[in-house]
Every structure is written in C-alpha cells, then in structure tokens.
C-alpha cells in the first residue's frame, strides 16, 4: 500500500481520526527500529480529510522532527533529568511558542528548536491546523491561499514568516498566528 | 463504663436531644435527623457528660472519612470531633483558609496539605501560581504550638517558612516534603538544627536549591531521635564524614535514603555502621573514580548487605554500575519494596536478581528491563501489589521495550496486583482485557501509551474495549488514567461501570462533548478530574453542573472551552472557585481573536471564596 506521504505524527494531531493498520501489519517489530518520519517529497501535504486512511507503517527516511508537546508523555521533569546516562545530554529547554489560527477555537504550542528550516515548520503547522499555506515568494509573500503565517517578534511587531533568515526567526519569534482573509492579504503582500 | 451502658446512653441522646444539622464546615450534603420523641433541649449536665464520653470514644477514630461522618451527626458531636481530631488532611490548600482550620480544630498534631494539581508536574502550569505554605505556617504557629508533623505535597515552601516552622514548634517531629519547591539547603539546615525532637526528615522528589550549606553538619551533636532521613532528591554534594558521624549517633535510624553523591564505598561505610536499617536509598551505587585502580581492596559489599537483616526496602541506584548489583542478593528474599526506576538495567542483569525476590510487594523500574524482565517479575513476585514501569526514553517515538506482552505476563503471574502505572509505546486491547480479568483486586490502573491517539497495534481499533474491560471487571477501581486512541464509547463505559472511581486522568482522547458528559453523569464518586488536549467543550462542561460542588477539583487544559461557559459555572456555583489562565505567565495581553478561548481551566470547591494571592495571569471568574 502506498505511503501517502504523511507521517504518523501528523495523524496523531488529528482529533478524531481512526487509523487502520494493514492486515497483519505490526506496529511493533520493525517499526520500533524506525524513527517516525514523513515520506519526504517536495509536494506540499494536502489538508487531511476525515476519511483518510493511511498506513501505519513508518518509513525509514531522514525524519523531520515531530512537534514536541509540552508535558507529554507525563513524566515529571525531575525524573526525565535524572535517569541514568541521560544526565550528560543537555536536552535543552526548547523554545515553545503558541500558535493560533484565525477561526480555530484552540491554541497549540510548538517547540521551534526541533525544526531546522521554514519548510519543516510550515509542514508541521499545515498538518496541525489542517490548512494549506500557499507558496512563499520573496517579494509577494504567500500566494495561493487565504492563510498567511505570521509571527510576533521581540519588538511586538507582526511579521510574515519567512522574511528573515531562519536563525533570526527562531531567536526573535514570540508567538505565531495564522491569519486568514483580508487581514492576511495586507500583510502577505507587503515586502 | 461498660459498652452496653455507653450504647444505652447514645440511644438516650437520640431520643431526647433536638438534633440539628451542624454548621456546614465541609461541603458534604447536610442531613437532618428528626426524632419521633420529645424535642425539648437537654439539661446542661447531660450534654457535658455526653461530650466527655464522646471524646473518649472518638479518640479511637482515626480515619478521616469516619470522622467526617461523625461530625455530621449533630452540633455536639461536631464540636467534640473537632476537639479530638489530631490529624488533619487538606486535599486542596485553597479549599479553605488557614484561619478556618484553626477555628474548627483546636488540637492538631499532624497536618497534611496538598497544593498544586498534579498536571503542574508536567509544566502545564506557569510557575508562581500559588500553593504557598507561608500563610499556613503563620497561622498554625500560633494555633498549634504542639504541632508535631507536617506533610506537604506540591506546595511552594520557602526557607523562611522552614525557619518559622523550626522556631514555632518545640515538639516538632516529622517533616515530609513531597514534590515541593521554593526552598534550599539553607532551609533544610535550619530544620536540622532547631528541631531537636526530629524523627523524620524526608525530602522526596522535591526541588532543593543548592545554597552551598553543609546542612548535614547542622544536626546537633549528641544522640539524635532520627528514624528516617531521605535526601535522594537533593542535587548537591553532602559532607560525607558528617553524614557518617550522624548515622553513628542515630541509634533509632531505620530509613536512610542518600543522594547520588554518595558512592558505593561510602554507602558501605554507612551500612556497616547502621545494620539495623529497614529502608536504604543506595545513592549512586557506583564506585567513586578516586578509588578505582588504586590497588586497594574493594569492600565486601555483599557482606554488608547480608548484615542488614532487617532491610526490606531498596531504592537509589542513581548511577548504577551493573557489575555491583549482585551484591544485593543476600537481602533479595527479604525485600518487600524495590525501586530501580532511576537505573538503566538490562534484562540480562535484571533476571538473576529478581529471581530471588519472592516477597516483593512494590516494584518500580524502567522499561529497560523489557518484556523479558516483566516476565521474570511475573514468574517470581507472586505477592506483588504495586507495579510502576517508567520510560527510559520518555518520547513518543522511542523504541518501546515493553508492550502488551509484559502487561499480560504480569497479569498472569501477579494475581494480587492492586496498583499499576505502565508507560509503553503501544498496547493491545487483548492485553488490557487480560489484566482486567486476571487482577480483580486492581484499585489503580494507569496506562500511558506514549504515542498520542495510538490504536491497538494489532487490530488497529481504538483502545475502548480494553479500558471498558477494566472498568467492568475491576470492581474496586478508584483511580483510572487512560490513553491511546479512544472514542466516546470508552467514556460511556467508564460512566456506566466506573462507580467507585475517584480520580480520572484523560489526555488526547474522546470525540465530543458526550465523552465528558458520560463521565460527569455516570461516575458518582468522582472527586478529581484532570483532562488535557481533548475535544470537550462548553456543553460537556455544563453537563456537570450538578457535580462540581461535590468534587475536589476539575482541570481542563487545551480543550474546547470558552470563557462564557466558565463564567456561567462560576455564577451558578458560588462555592466553586473557577480559575482561568494560560500556560505562560506573560499571557496577560490576550489575543483578541482568541480572547474567549480558555487554555487552562482549574476549578475547585472552596469554603472561603476566591483566594487573595492569585497572580496576575490568573483570572478568577
């Protein structure tokens, strides 16, 4: 069965979807040894529908990072930090920022440090909120979608995601907001 | 007085006193007792005599539930019970004010206070939310000069609080701090130094800042009364020589839990000096590098263990050097409690050890022992009552060395199991059902499938049936934590069968408001409900209106709640405090679009209304 190019993690973010395994497919065994990953391709992931059925097999490829969820699994940080041989790994605190989307009645928190570039971040957001962001053009902003990803920086200004180099973005981003509609157009078209 | 006389007198009381329901001091439903006979008030002396009798009878009552029931009989019983209650348990420090405590109970010797809700442990709550010990120590310092014991869980305790405690209670004997923070080694030093009657000083899973104070040396010279000293969570080195001297002059010491800065050689020295120990926290359990390769003969660790004939509880192993683990073999057959949960022990190292542990009743470990290790536990530990398996790698995409296989094996081998906490990557309904059928004594079932929304990995179906079987078959179940892919059906089963459940934890589960409704309408004994990241909204919350006065608290984070409905609850239920806040403490300026969205709802019943110490980021509706 073909891998529809989405990763197990993105499925997990859907609230109600049932996932069916292949007959005889084991989540154990080989899957254990493979990192959960996306089938990488250049095409943008399409917004998921409720009826999507995909394989639970995890493909062995370079894995884009999963969106880290605060406080999950529910292990106290004292325990996490003190398990033998983990002490020397500086796990880092992560940089959690809130993400809201116009019209969505919930917020999410994501750890920016697990991503290495904008495309990874955008994929994760698209799957988290089930939308498509269009393509980014340096001068014109995002085209092809009503949604525009923006962020609030340290100075309190709302900027378009993608305008500044990635590292600068990570260090200055305070929160993310996926704007929709006319407000978005205004920002999306600015240089 | 003979028993028959007492009961006759009690009957007389019922007949002749006009019995009213007492002033409501707790939120149990008030009952009124009407008698069919004369309702004239009794003459004074009868009631005095009666109260004396009652006082002597009530002294034998220890259970707080019994005492709560007793206090509801009538005003007289309420009064006498209040005067004789010496141990007070407060499950939520904000459910009443310290002043109220002092007004009602006059002779308290022991206080147990719980502060923050459990989800605060997982960074879901901003720091500085509250639960300060300060107002409590201030009031009790004046009200209960003979206070002997304080146990705090998830409270914010400062060094000043500890200093005040040490200065205010001359007979102070026991301090237990569980999952607390806000203090450091300087506060500990003051307690060690000033509490001359101290028997118990237990710092458990608390954050203790390193003030670079040699607190061990602060215990006074001469023989101590120490029976229990636990500092395994203190993440700073200690003065070992001082500890050794302390142990030598503490003849009553039974429990000693050292931290990871105590090496195996040092542990040996302690054991040799304290063979009477019943509970030992072994510190690092590895050789200090200074001694390695010095040509010095290694101490005979097994012999030291052999000499501890009373040792029944082992923990620690913070930096376990596996080759030394067999040294504990001489005591294995006596052990009733083992905590390996900070040690990465492989199945090969584990199996020869556990083979001898026939009497173990409580066992905590990491999943590094794998399903194989669990099978070994199942084969040997027939007396097991409590099992906790923690993840070595607590992330969603880790390997997952334990599974339904291990769970099922445990259920088949350990039929007396009462309590289980099990972290795994994947699970099957078959295994969970097997446990429900094999372990009818279960009162606590907490399964954490770390992959969110993960279904049964063999059938691909939701985990509804497995958890359904648990609530159906485990008739004594009082605490349940669910995980994996769950539909509303799971909750309908919980509501239908979970009639004794008092604590329920839900994360990333359910389909709709119905899920929440099933629980709130179905589980009559529910006291503590904690939910995160589940699609439960306003309708679900409203459906529980009739319950919130009878519950200790409800926590809902990242669900689908709006401010409006939370305000409605607050308006409708004046004895419930409704707190709404975000997970960051800089959330004061709320996004206009999401201004109505409630990220965290924490509500609890309270006798004294909204608290005055709420930080800015908390809104009390």
DSSP readout, B478-491? -EEE--SS--HHHH
Q: Return the percent helix, strand and coil in chain A, to nearest 5.
A: 25, 20, 60
Instruction: Quote the distance between the C-alpha of residue B34 and its chain's center.
Output: 40
> Residue B116 above 60 pLDDT?
yes
SS3 state of residue B252 = coil
B102 CB burial (10 A radius; 0-12, 13-18, 19+): middle
Listed in sequence order, the residues at least 6 apart from B18 whose beta carbon sits closer than 8 Å to its beta carbon are B35, B39, B40, B41
pLDDT range class, residue B119, cuts 50, 70, 90:
very high
pLDDT range class, residue B60, cuts 50, 70, 90:
confident
- State which residues form the domain around A147: 96-185
Domain membership flag for residue A167: yes
Q: How many CB atoms lie within 10 A of CB B136?
A: 25
pLDDT range class, residue B62, cuts 50, 70, 90:
confident
Listed in sequence order, the residues at least 6 apart from A55 whose beta carbon sits closer than 8 Å to its beta carbon are A1, A2, A3, A4, A21, A22, A25
Q: What percent of chain B has pLDDT over 90?
A: 78
Nearest chain A alpha carbon to B594: A105
Question: Which pair of tokens denotes residue B89?
Answer: 């348990």
pTM for this predicted structure: 0.78
Q: Are B84 and B59 contacting, i.e. CB atoms less than 8 angstroms apart? A: yes
Torsion of CA B483, B489, B491, B493, to 10 degrees: -110
Nearest to B426 among A16, A28, A73 (CB): A28
Length of chain B: 621
Hey, which residues does B554 pair with through a beta bridge? Answer: B529, B603
Whole-number Å distance between alpha carbons of A24 and A57: 11
Pairing assessment for the beta strands A96-101 and A108-111 based on DSSP bridges:
antiparallel
Hey, which residues does B134 pair with through a beta bridge? Answer: none
Domain membership flag for residue A38: no
Task: Output the pLDDT for position B617.
Answer: 86
SS3 state of residue B465 = helix
Question: Using alpha carbons only, how large is chain B's radius of gyration in Å?
Answer: 27
SS3 state of residue B132 = strand
Q: Are B330 and B275 contacting, i.e. CB atoms less than 8 angstroms apart? A: no
Instruction: Quote the distance between the C-alpha of residue A92 and its chain's center.
Output: 19
Residue B418: which of B450, B396, B445, B391 has the closest Cα? B445
Domain membership flag for residue A10: no
Q: Are B514 and B541 contacting, i.e. CB atoms less than 8 angstroms apart? A: no
Question: Which pair of tokens denotes residue A59?
Answer: 């493909």
Domain membership flag for residue A23: no
ipTM comes to 0.83
Task: Output the pLDDT for position B41.
Answer: 52
> Residue B476 above 70 pLDDT?
yes
Lowest mean pLDDT among A58-72, A171-185, B212-226, B426-440: A58-72
Pairing assessment for the beta strands B503-507 and B528-532 based on DSSP bridges:
parallel
Q: Which of residues 105-144 of B touch A (CB under 8 A)?
A: 119, 121-124
Does A72 contact B594 at a Cβ distance shorter than 8 Å?
no
Instruction: Quote the distance between the C-alpha of residue B297 and its chain's center.
Output: 43
Hey, which residues does B555 pair with through a beta bridge? Answer: B530, B602
Distance from CA of A79 to the nearest CA of B (A): 8
Nearest chain B alpha carbon to A156: B589
Whole-number Å distance between alpha carbons of B264 and B288: 7
Q: Are B257 and B282 contacting, i.e. CB atoms less than 8 angstroms apart? A: no
Tokens 């109505």 locate to B596
Lowest mean pLDDT among A97-111, B74-88, B130-144, B314-328: A97-111
Answer with the residue of higher pLDDT: B186 or B126.
B186
> Residue B432 above 50 pLDDT?
yes
* A-chain residues near B343 (CB < 8 A): 84
Number of domains chain A contains: 1
Whole-number Å distance between alpha carbons of B15 and A99: 67
Domain membership flag for residue A22: no
Answer with the residue of higher pLDDT: A158 or B602.
B602
Task: Output the pLDDT for position A17.
Answer: 47
B573 CB burial (10 A radius; 0-12, 13-18, 19+): middle
Q: Which of residues 110-169 of A touch B (CB under 8 A)?
A: none
Domain membership flag for residue A55: no
Residue B517: which of B484, B552, B546, B483 has the closest Cα? B546
What is the H or E stretch that residue A120 is in?
Answer: helix A118-129
Q: Are B81 and B106 contacting, i.e. CB atoms less than 8 angstroms apart? A: no
Q: What digits encode the pLDDT tens for the residues B193-202? A: 999 999 999 9
> Residue B594 above 80 pLDDT?
no
Answer with the residue of higher pLDDT: B413 or A117.
B413
CATH number, domain with residue A106? 3.10.20.90
Q: Is A46 touching B (CB cutoff 8 A)?
A: no
User: Phi and psi of B189, rounded to 5°?
Assistant: -60, -40
Lowest mean pLDDT among A44-58, B109-123, B169-183: A44-58
> Residue B140 above 90 pLDDT?
yes
Tokens 């020295």 locate to B269
> Residue B342 above 60 pLDDT?
yes
Q: Return the percent helix, strand and coil in chain B, to nearest 5.
A: 35, 20, 45
Q: Which of residues 59-88 of A touch B (CB under 8 A)?
A: 66, 69-80, 82-85
Distance from CA of B94 to the nearest CA of A (A): 23
Task: Output the pLDDT for position A182.
Answer: 63
Query: Mind spelling out the 3-state secondary structure of B270-322?
Result: HHHHCCCCCEEEECCCCCCCCCCCCCCCCCCHHHHHHHCCCCCEEECCCCCCH
Task: Output the pLDDT for position A107.
Answer: 74
Pairing assessment for the beta strands B576-581 and B208-209 based on DSSP bridges:
unpaired
Tokens 């389909």 locate to B511
* A-chain residues near B537 (CB < 8 A): 105
* B-chain residues near A105 (CB < 8 A): 537, 560, 562, 597
Distance from CA of B81 to the nearest CA of A (A): 39
Domain membership flag for residue A164: yes
SS3 state of residue B164 = helix
Task: Output the pLDDT for position A91.
Answer: 47
pLDDT range class, residue B68, cuts 50, 70, 90:
confident
Beta strands (DSSP E) in chain A are 96-101, 108-111, 135-137, 141-143, 147-153, 158-160, 173-180
Pairing assessment for the beta strands B208-209 and B183-184 based on DSSP bridges:
parallel
> Residue B44 above 70 pLDDT?
no
SS3 state of residue B435 = helix
Domain membership flag for residue A145: yes
Residue B390: which of B379, B381, B380, B401 has the closest Cα? B401
- Calculate the average pLDDT of chain B: 90
pLDDT range class, residue A134, cuts 50, 70, 90:
confident
Per-residue pLDDT, averaged over B166-175, amounts to 97
Whole-number Å distance between alpha carbons of B47 and B44: 6
Whole-number Å distance between alpha carbons of B95 and B608: 7
ω into A73 cis (within 30 of 0): yes
Q: How far is CA B617 from CA A21, A106, B533, in A?
A: 44, 19, 21
> Residue A132 above 50 pLDDT?
yes
Q: Which of residues 10-49 of B touch A (CB under 8 A)?
A: none
> Residue B111 above 70 pLDDT?
yes
Residue B342: which of B361, B323, B363, B315 has the closest Cα? B315
Listed in sequence order, the residues at least 6 apart from A190 whose beta carbon sits closer than 8 Å to its beta carbon are A141, A160
* A-chain residues near B508 (CB < 8 A): 12, 72
Per-residue pLDDT, averaged over B477-502, amounts to 97
Residue B606: which of B560, B561, B548, B563 has the closest Cα? B548
Answer with the residue of higher pLDDT: B225 or B32.
B225
Lowest mean pLDDT among A93-97, B257-261, B490-494: A93-97
A86 CB burial (10 A radius; 0-12, 13-18, 19+): middle
Listed in sequence order, the residues at least 6 apart from B480 whose beta carbon sits closer than 8 Å to its beta carbon are B444, B445, B446, B467, B470, B471, B494, B498, B501, B503, B504, B505
């Amino acid at each position: 069965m073909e891998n529809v190019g989405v990763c197990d993690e993105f499925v997990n973010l859907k609230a109600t979807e049932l996932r069916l395994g292949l007959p005889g497919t084991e989540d154990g065994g080989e899957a254990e040894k493979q990192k959960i990953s996306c089938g990488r391709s250049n095409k943008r992931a399409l917004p998921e529908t409720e009826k999507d059925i995909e394989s639970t097999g995890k493909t062995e490829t370079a894995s884009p990072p999963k969106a880290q969820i605060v406080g999950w699994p529910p292990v106290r940080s004292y325990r996490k930090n003190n398990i033998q041989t983990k002490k020397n790994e500086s796990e880092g605190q992560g940089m959690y920022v809130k993400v809201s989307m116009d019209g969505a009645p919930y917020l999410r928190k994501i750890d920016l440090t697990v991503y290495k570039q904008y495309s990874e971040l955008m994929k994760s957001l698209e799957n988290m909120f089930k939308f498509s962001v269009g393509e980014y053009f340096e001068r014109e902003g995002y085209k092809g979608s009503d949604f525009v990803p923006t962020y609030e920086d340290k100075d309190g200004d709302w900027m378009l995601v993608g305008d500044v180099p990635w590292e600068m973005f990570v260090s200055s981003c305070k929160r993310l907001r996926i704007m929709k509609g006319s407000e978005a157009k205004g920002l999306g078209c600015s240089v | 007085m003979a028993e028959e006389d007492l009961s006759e007198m009690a009957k007389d009381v019922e007949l002749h006193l006009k019995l009213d329901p007492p002033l409501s001091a707790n939120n149990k439903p008030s009952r009124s007792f009407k008698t069919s006979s004369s309702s004239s008030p009794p003459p004074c002396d009868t009631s005095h005599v009666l109260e004396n009798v009652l006082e002597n009878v009530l002294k034998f009552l220890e259970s707080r539930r019994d005492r709560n029931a007793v206090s509801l009989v009538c005003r007289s019983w309420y009064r006498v019970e209040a005067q004789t209650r010496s141990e007070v348990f407060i499950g939520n420090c904000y459910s009443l004010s310290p002043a109220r405590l002092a007004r009602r109970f006059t002779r308290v010797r022991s206080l147990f206070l719980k502060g923050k809700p459990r989800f605060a442990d997982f960074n879901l709550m901003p720091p500085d939310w509250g639960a300060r010990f300060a107002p409590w120590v201030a009031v009790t310092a004046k009200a209960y000069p003979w206070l002997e014991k304080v146990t705090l869980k998830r409270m914010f305790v400062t060094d000043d609080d500890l200093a005040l405690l040490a200065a205010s209670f001359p007979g102070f004997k026991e301090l237990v701090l569980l999952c607390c923070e806000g203090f450091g080694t300087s506060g500990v030093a003051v307690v060690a130094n000033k509490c001359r009657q101290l028997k118990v000083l237990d710092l458990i899973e608390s954050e203790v800042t390193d003030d670079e104070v040699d607190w061990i040396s602060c215990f006074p010279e001469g023989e101590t009364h120490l029976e229990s000293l636990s500092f395994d969570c203190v993440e700073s080195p200690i003065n070992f020589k001082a500890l050794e001297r302390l142990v030598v002059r503490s003849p009553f010491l039974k429990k000693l839990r050292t931290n990871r800065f105590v090496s195996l050689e040092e542990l040996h020295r302690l054991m040799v000096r304290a063979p009477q120990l019943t509970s030992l926290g072994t510190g690092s359990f590895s050789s200090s590098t200074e001694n390695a390769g010095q040509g010095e003969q290694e101490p005979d660790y097994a012999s030291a263990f052999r000499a501890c004939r009373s040792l029944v509880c082992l923990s620690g192993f913070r930096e376990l050097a596996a080759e030394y683990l067999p040294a504990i073999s001489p005591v294995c057959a006596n052990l009733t409690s083992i905590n390996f949960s900070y040690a990465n022990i492989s199945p090969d190292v584990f199996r020869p050890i556990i083979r001898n542990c026939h009497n173990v009743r409580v066992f905590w470990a990491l999943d590094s022992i794998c399903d194989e290790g669990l099978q070994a536990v199942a084969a040997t530990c027939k007396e097991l009552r409590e099992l906790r398996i923690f993840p070595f790698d607590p992330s969603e995409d880790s390997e997952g060395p334990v599974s339904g296989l291990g769970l099922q094996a445990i259920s088949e081998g350990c039929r007396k199991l009462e309590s289980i906490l099990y972290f795994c990557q994947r699970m099957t309904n078959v295994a969970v059902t097997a446990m429900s059928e094999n372990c009818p004594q279960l009162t606590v079932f907490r399964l954490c499938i770390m992959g969110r929304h993960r279904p049964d990995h063999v059938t691909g179906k939701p985990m509804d049936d497995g958890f359904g079987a648990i609530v159906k078959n485990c008739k004594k179940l009082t605490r349940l934590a669910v995980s994996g892919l769950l539909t509303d059906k799971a909750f309908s089963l919980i509501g239908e069968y979970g009639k004794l459940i008092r604590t329920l934890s839900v994360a990333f589960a359910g389909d709709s408001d119905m899920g929440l409704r099933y629980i709130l309408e179905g589980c009559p004994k529910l006291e503590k409900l904690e939910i995160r990241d589940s699609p439960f909204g306003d309708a679900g919350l409203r459906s529980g209106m009739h319950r919130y006065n009878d519950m200790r608290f409800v926590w809902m984070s990242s669900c689908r709640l709006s401010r409006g409905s939370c305000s409605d609850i607050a308006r409708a239920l004046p004895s419930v405090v409704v707190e709404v806040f975000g997970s960051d403490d800089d959330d004061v300026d709320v996004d206009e679009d999401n201004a109505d969205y409630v990220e965290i709802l924490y509500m609890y019943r309270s006798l004294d209304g909204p608290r005055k110490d709420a930080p800015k980021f908390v809104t009390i509706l």
